[in-house]
Structure 1
Amino acid sequence: MTGTTDFWQRLGERPYDFDLFAALRRIESLHPQSPRLGHSQRPQQDPIRLGQAPSTSFAPATLAGLDERRAAAKLRIFSFGLFGPNGPLPLALTEYAMERANHHGDETLSAFADIFHHRLIQLFYRAWASAQSTVSLDRDQDDSFTRHVASLVHHGLESQRERDSVPDHARWNHAGHLVRQVRNAEGLERILANFFRMPARIEEFARHWLPLPDDQRTRLGGASNAQLGVDAVAGQAVPDRQHRFRIRLGAMGLADYENLLPTGRGHRQLLDWARSYIGIEYAWDVRLVLHAAEVPRVSLGGVTRLGWTSWLGASAATQDRDDLVLDPEHIAATTHSYRPRRTAGSPSSEPTRSHP
């Protein structure tokens, strides 16, 4: 019989420490090659035989013991069966089965009843397991719980899985946030804080500059956009606070900081999380905050990178460094280092990119 030796040893020595459903769930997960309990067509397909220990006393525990004398181990329980004070048979038959087994070594009657017990206990367990969706996670090839949760966020089909750098289970873990039609800042904060294991804060209405098209700029001698106080604009861009927000991550250690730089995997995951949560409706950027104790010193032959992980000064930093702001969407659009993967139902046109 295969399985974890320590589990079977504890089950045989201390069966009263186990709950029936917990023990059967563990046994079922240890035998992925066998049909699920309650789904087999013959007893030979089951990893364990089930039966009831005849007893006239009220059950002191759920499990009576594990019998490994036969080729197929047999797990006996006290409750849920034909015998005993709670069973449908008269107590005289329970006493007779006990007397034959204890004094004559004859288990014919109880073995015959176990033919029915074996199937009934399995169906009893299956009724419980079917209502506990997480039980299906014990087997990857028959994971209905994952399919149900993935369907909530439109990932129910296999072709919709593994679409980007964010692990599927990480996304499904936050299905409660992703399933809502109204996406708020608190939801994105919790997702990023939980996924990256660091403080995350959304700064709404972040200021940025919107470039003006050539035909809307003010020019000397122009016939339009030249009324002072009405539509005249000095410059090539106007400030805006309606369409951009800023993600503030940290303070964090140097390893996490470098992971979120454009060359790190965390940078792509941050971009994919933002696209999954808000789409392309808003512009956004991210401010990375590095712990003061983790700020590297610049030295010849060092591994610091200009503009990303290098700061001038010989003395140790006394404050967290938060002067690096990145625009992942702009970086992806200009470097072509990371393109969104096409999926069924996605628009064919390229999303509008915001300028830094």
Structure 2
Amino acid sequence: MRAWFDQDRPWRSGFLSLMRAIAARDPSRPAPGEADLPSQETYRIGQRPVLAFPPREVASLDTRHGRLDIRLFGLGIWGPQGPLPLHATELAYHRSVALQDRTLEHFADLFHHRALALFYRAWAAGQSTAALDRPDEERFSFYIASLMGTDQAEARQSCLPTHARYGASAHIVRESRNPEGLAATLSQYFDVPIAVEEYVPHWIRVDETGHCRLGMPGASSFMGESAMLGEQVADRQHKFRLVIGPLDFSRYLRLTPRGEDLCTLVEWVRAFIGYEYDWEIQLLIKPEEVPAPRVDGRQRLGHSTWLGECDPAQPVSGMVFEPEIYAA
């Protein structure tokens, strides 16, 4: 902890961050403010009685009787900002400095230690980042997952980082999923431009039982009501397209089939819409990143190969495919 507290720049250290560092260093011990016995704590918190206004929170760090001795300027009963009259601080200061008798100061530290440890505990209980220092005791993720209706065990098995999923909870929990929220979340996570094109035309295959056949009675054989020609129906209501880019070549390859980021992209879209809609992605690549075609096995035909010259002022269209086919 001495490395954490710079004697030449003590104002850079604060009480709460110091206690957080102590709690994170040894997760096997009770967190500050939760110990049942004093022997379970490796530190002692006290306040230095001074008459001046505190210039910073932490006055000094020292080792006493094998424990870290934390001395503060404020947050206790002494000083001009404390609850006791100023002459009480003057008495404690006189006994500690002039008479070298710190009995009164140490007696007050019995209450300072417990009160300030509980003060840190109250602060840490409402801090989601501080809770991550002790993963086995972290509860904030459980609260967010419960509000989202997400099973934590199932979320941890996904290729999508759990805290990235929880960070988008404001968009995911909305009953009406808007395309702007999906595009903004994906763009922020992958750090690339992403747009959503709605009402993409596609064909829906009609189930075998819905085919209309002459001479065969059935629910799909009523002319003008349920009879249809063909085995597929044109539709624009149930498919959208994610236009991603323009990308550099390395980022482009990460989103192609068998790319490293494709699984994460699929999990993001499933988190937003489930399996309700069909969707596809269109990858755009920067014109200066388009590689020259080579017959050496390093490029994949239809994936990362382009013929001819491209317009240097326009992004080049790459693959257009349905990721769900490759993520199954």
TM-score (norm 2): 0.86
> Aligned in 2, Cα 1:102/1:257: closer, same or farther, shift over 3 Å?
same
Alignment of 1:133-148 (within 5 A): 133-148=128-143
> Aligned in 2, Cα 1:123/1:175: closer, same or farther, shift over 3 Å?
same
Match of 1:265, SS state, is coil
Q: Does 1:164 align with 2:161?
A: no
CA drift of 1:13 comes to 4.0
Partner amino acid for 1:208?
Answer: H
After superposition, the C-alpha distances for 1:167-207 in whole angstroms (9 at most, x for unaligned) are: 21221121111111211111111121122221111100001
Partner amino acid for 1:280?
Answer: Y
CA drift of 1:41 comes to 1.9
Partner amino acid for 1:6?
Answer: A
Partner amino acid for 2:164?
Answer: A
CA distance in 2, matches of 1:303, 1:81: 68
Partner amino acid for 1:171?
Answer: R
> Aligned in 2, Cα 1:276/1:17: closer, same or farther, shift over 3 Å?
closer
CA distance in 1, matches of 2:206, 2:82: 83
CA distance in 1, matches of 2:257, 2:60: 59
Q: Does 1:42 align with 2:45?
A: no
Q: Does 1:296 align with 2:283?
A: no
Work out whether residues 212 and 237 of structure 1, in 8 Å CA contact, stay in contact via their aligned partners in 2: yes
1:351 corresponds in structure 2 to none
Work out whether residues 295 and 317 of structure 1, in 8 Å CA contact, stay in contact via their aligned partners in 2: no
Select the residue among 29, 32, 53 that pairs with 2:27: 32
Alignment of 1:74-89 (within 5 A): 74-89=69-84
Alignment of 1:1-356 (within 5 A): 3=1, 5-8=2-5, 10=6, 12-68=7-63, 70-157=65-152, 159-212=153-206, 233=229, 236-313=231-308, 315=309, 318=312, 319-329=314-324, 331-332=325-326, 338-339=327-328
1:342 corresponds in structure 2 to none
Work out whether residues 219 and 226 of structure 1, in 8 Å CA contact, stay in contact via their aligned partners in 2: no
CA distance in 1, matches of 2:79, 2:233: 84
After superposition, the C-alpha distances for 1:248-278 in whole angstroms (9 at most, x for unaligned) are: 1111122221111221232222222222211
CA drift of 1:83 comes to 2.7
After superposition, the C-alpha distances for 1:119-156 in whole angstroms (9 at most, x for unaligned) are: 11111222222233332122212111222222222235
Work out whether residues 216 and 225 of structure 1, in 8 Å CA contact, stay in contact via their aligned partners in 2: no
Match of 1:28, SS state, is helix
Partner amino acid for 1:124?
Answer: F
Work out whether residues 254 and 294 of structure 1, in 8 Å CA contact, stay in contact via their aligned partners in 2: yes
CA distance in 2, matches of 1:134, 1:112: 34
Superposed CA RMSD: 2.9
CA drift of 1:163 comes to 3.4
Partner amino acid for 1:106?
Answer: D
Work out whether residues 225 and 232 of structure 1, in 8 Å CA contact, stay in contact via their aligned partners in 2: no
Equivalenced residue count is 323
Match of 2:270, SS state, is helix
Partner amino acid for 2:169?
Answer: A
> Aligned in 2, Cα 1:232/1:101: closer, same or farther, shift over 3 Å?
closer
Work out whether residues 304 and 318 of structure 2, in 8 Å CA contact, stay in contact via their aligned partners in 1: no
After superposition, the C-alpha distances for 1:95-134 in whole angstroms (9 at most, x for unaligned) are: 2322222123221221122112111111122222223333
Unaligned runs of 5+ in 1: 333-337, 340-356
Unaligned runs of 5+ in 2: none
Work out whether residues 28 and 37 of structure 1, in 8 Å CA contact, stay in contact via their aligned partners in 2: yes
After superposition, the C-alpha distances for 1:327-349 in whole angstroms (9 at most, x for unaligned) are: 123x24xxxxx44xxxxxxxxxx
Match of 1:210, SS state, is strand
Match of 1:150, SS state, is helix
Work out whether residues 46 and 70 of structure 2, in 8 Å CA contact, stay in contact via their aligned partners in 1: yes
Give the % identical residues.
Answer: 37
TM-score (norm 1): 0.80
